[in-house]
Homo-oligomer: A and B are copies of this chain.
Amino acid sequence: MNDHATPLTRRRLRTWLRILRLTRRAENHLREFLRRECDTTLPRFDVMAALHRAGKPMKMSELSERLLVSNGNATAVVDRLERDGLALRVASESDRRVKHVALSDAGRTRFEALARAHEAEVDKLFANLGHEELDMMRTLIRRMEGQSQ
């Protein structure tokens, strides 16, 4: 057992490239799906999902941290959602530096439909994996992130 023909370093690189490819393919598929079927984009969906999940107004910085994007990026996407009436910005009362952002009623309604369609599409994408394989996948990811950051 324990075939070390390929050095560990090389195998880590190959694995990373495989993960990257998988993610790109899935993202491309979902982007296309959201565009064609739902007339929206992935970044907008991600922001709406984060806001919906939070259930209460979020600070701009919480949003960008949650989504792993820059502050400037969050500002730009929220600007567009706000322009389209899907999100609202409210200045915080306790700290006037802070802006709270939340889905509007229209945004919440819109997102709930989007979320159902998106979930169904993800279900198709991962149709080949069952419970055990999915759990194994998440276990490996958790281990990967173990202490390295």
- In the assembled complex, A84 has its CB within 8 A of some CB on chain B: no
| Contact of A128 with B147 in the complex, beta carbons under 8 Å | yes
Interface size grouping (class) on chain A = 35 or more
Residue A24, interface by CB 8 Å = yes
Report how far A145 CA is from B9 CA in the complex, Å: 24
Min Cβ gap A43→B in Å is 12
**Which of B9, B18, B68, B132 touches A25 (beta carbons < 8 Å)?**
B68
Any B CB within 8 A of the CB of A83: no
- Take A125-B148, A130-B8, A148-B125 as given contacts and tell me if A137 and B20 are in contact as well, using a CB distance cutoff of 8 Å: no
The listed residue (B20, B135, B146) touching A23 by CB distance below 8 A is B20
Stretch at the interface among A33-41, A89-97, A98-106, A116-124: A116-124
Would you call A26 an interface residue if the criterion is a C-beta within 8 Å of the partner chain's C-beta atoms?
A: yes
* CB-CB nearest in chain B for A19: B23
